[in-house]
Structure 1
Amino acid sequence: MTSVKDFRVERAATATELGRGAFVFTDDYSVFDWGKMPDAIPNKGASLCAMGAYNFELLEDAGIPTHYDGVVGGSGEAVPLSEVADPPREMAIELTQVPDLPHDGREYDYDAYYADAGENHLIPLEIVFRNTVPVGSSLRSRADPADFDLDFAEWPDEVVDLPEPVVEFSTKLEESDRYLDRSEADRIAGPVDIDRLEDLALSVNEIVTDRADEVGLVHEDGKIECFHYDGEIRVADVVGTFDENRFSFDGQEVSKEVIRQYHKRTQPEWVEAVSDAKERAKAEDVADWKALCERDPEPLPDHVVDAARDLYTAGTNAYVGRDLFDAPSLSEAVETVQDL
């Protein structure tokens, strides 16, 4: 189970065979790695399911292997997104193995992970691609503009377009994920060539960017997760949604970043407590930072929940080119969140 979708196993994966199962998307949301927040956003789960399915089908059409097997319609069978009339909440997927990742404090034993993994396993990395550097991007704290041949000394208080997409790697299975330099990412990737992962991420990025451009969205950044099976790398988890990726429309963020920034403005004490807990956990070599956090988040006001719902659903309608949801136009939804 993840913080925003449930995980159903119908047939477990083995060392030599893929399993079968499904993601069941909920309306929960998570910001700042907190996990399930104290409220929910109606229709968010169906929005992510539909948008993710649409992107997986784009990838498959482009010859990129994935774990996607269709959305689950009213018949209970896995079908293409075009064959469902109502927004789906379940996505049928193939399953790989995810061995335990032993750790002592914040020291993780990836050798033990791969000893149990065989040739069928989740690659314990997130591969992040960036086309722009929005104001909320974590890249601003790790790099200077000059690192990307940008002609200014400090990051400006506006979105910055990158000359070329940038690929980064972060951990996937650690209690508190962290960005990695290329050598450590290569080590954690195990038997998989890090260059192959980078090339795959750039291909996915290009496909999502092209589709976003077709519907008037700007694709700013995103990530993929992958698994390794019988020598092949397949794209897993969910791709190109408003939770995994950042998009904008007429300069306004259209993604989970809207909710993140709202929390920063209205619950700064909680956001600071989360940051302090992560730093304390790092200093004390403790994996579970959340147990050290001295504050809990508060629920969102009703009008913010409503605005977030409309943003997710209107954005999905635009992206998939169908009125799957009863939602305002994307421009109307964007105008509402600009006033939050």
Structure 2
Amino acid sequence: MPKRFSTKNLTVVQEPTENRSGVGIFEFTDDYSVFHYSKMPDQIPGKGEAICRMADFNFRMLEQTGIPTHFRRFIEPNKLEFTLVRVQNPAVEPIPRGQVNYLVPLQVIFRNVLAPNNSLRRRHEEGRVDLSELGLASLPPDGVPLQEPIVEFTTKLEEIDRFVSVAEARHLSGLDDSHLAELRKTALKVDDVITEHARSVGLDHADGKIEFGITGDGQLILVDNAGTPDENRLMRRGQHVGKQILRDFYLARGLEKQVQDWARDGVPRSQWDRPEPLPTGFAATMSDLYRSLCETWTGERIWGVPPLDDALETARLLNTGSVAW
């Protein structure tokens, strides 16, 4: 479900109640965000439609494997209708056990490989993660597939989300051990389906994040969306495909540290400095990349954009400075 600074717009068609789900519509925009900044200065033309079409494809694919979701229908070109549950913030009032018809206030992170610049390695170096809770004695080198996927949890409704232990995830979510185990099992199944499809179209699936809700009858369902380059780290021959390219551009300009400093110092988001815009040509290149990835992923030829490898090579040259702005 989107935050107030999400790049998706939410329209509530029918409000959910304590024991009855509602109906909502997501409009996927051409905005993007990195490092929890909020919307960045530029838009990526066609990104919203590309992400939406991938989300539609993935929901249908996941449901065919028996994974229940909130998906109802795709509304061309860039909207999804879905079952809407209530949003309850545990920071305002704890969520009691047995609660129904609500958004689980967690993001579930799964990792198949440690991609470059992954947060797990940074947190480990800072002493902020217990590897034993992840079933690890040590961290493998970046790029080396893990023997088993790692599952972690972050908060969902805080101003800037943070990683939490299993015990805190259980406390925040209102889920008992059996429901938390079911959530983890379902997350791994989603990961497996996305990973296998990525492999079938020549991509590697490094990691991703998903969200869940509880329906009025207590069923766990997948919500928001899954398997798109906004939620998942997709790679092709070691090169990032999607938003990570934009993250890398701003990482080199210190934006991630700035955001962390502003958040640590309690600077209101309205007072954060505006990041520099993308150089001329970068947004157009990313537009080709998102749309080409969508065509590759879904098998539908919609825009007739350059092949994915061509778009990736242009993005690589831009981000390494090999092409003049």
TM-score grouping bracket, smaller chain normalisation = 0.7 to 0.9
RMSD, matched Cα:
2.3
The equivalent of 2:148 in structure 1 is 164
Partner residue, 1:244? 231
Report SS of the residue matched to 1:126. Answer: strand
1:170-209 CA-partner distances (Å, limit 9, x unpaired): 0000111100011111111203521111101000000000
Aligned pair count reads: 307
Q: Which amino acid aligns with 2:15?
A: A
- The 2-side partners of 1:154 and 1:228 are apart by 34
Percent identity for Structure 1 against Structure 2: 37
Aligned to 1:84: none
Q: Which amino acid aligns with 1:260?
A: R
| 3-state secondary structure, aligned to 2:150 | strand
Residues 72-121 of structure 1, C-alpha deviations (whole Å, 9 max, x = no match): 14xxxxxxxxxxxxxx201111111113x27xxxxx2441x559x94110
Structure 2 CA distance, aligned partners of 1:206 and 1:149?
19
- Does 1:211 pair with 2:197? yes
1:327 Cα shift? 1.2
Which residue is equivalent to 2:116? 135
Q: Aligned partner of 1:24: which letter?
A: E
Contact 2:288-2:306 at 8 Å conserved across structures: yes
2:104 paired with 1:120:
no
Q: Distance in 2 between matches of 1:177 and 1:92?
A: 26
Q: Give 1:188's match in structure 2, choosing from 149, 172, 186.
A: 172
State TM-score, norm by structure 2: 0.88
Instruction: Give the unaligned 5+ runs of structure 1.
Output: 74-87, 103-107, 282-287
Answer yes or no: is the 8 Å Cα contact 2:155–2:163 preserved in 1: yes
**Superposed CA offset, 1:310-331 (max 9, x none):** 1111111101111122311111
Partners of 2:46 and 2:260 lie apart in 1 by 30
- C-alpha separation in 2, matches of 1:68 and 1:146: 35
Query: Alignment partner for residue 290 of structure 1, among 269, 280, 296?
Result: 269
Report what 2:321 is aligned to: none
The aligned residue for residue 18 of structure 2 is 15
Corresponding residue of 2:322: none
> For structure 2, which runs of at least 5 residues remain unmatched after alignment?
319-325
Residue 258 in 1 paired to residue 236 in 2?
no
Secondary structure, counterpart of 1:204 in structure 2: helix
In the aligned structure 2, how far is the partner of 1:68 from the partner of 1:55?
10
SS at match of 1:339: helix
TM-score w.r.t. length of structure 1: 0.84
Counterpart residue identity of residue 188, structure 2 = L
In the aligned structure 2, how far is the partner of 1:114 from the partner of 1:241? Answer: 32
Q: Give CA deviations for 1:254-297 in whole Å, capped at 9, x if unaligned.
A: 021110001122x22x433212112223xxxxxx753564x321
Partners of 1:27 and 1:146 lie apart in 2 by 37
User: Which digits, 9 at most, give the CA deviation of each residue in 1:210-252, with x for residues without a partner?
Assistant: 0000000000100110100112000000111010000001111
**Which amino acid counterpart does residue 258 of structure 1 have in structure 2?**
I
C-alpha distance in 2, partners of 1:170/1:93?
23
CA contact (8 A) 1:56 1:239 kept: yes
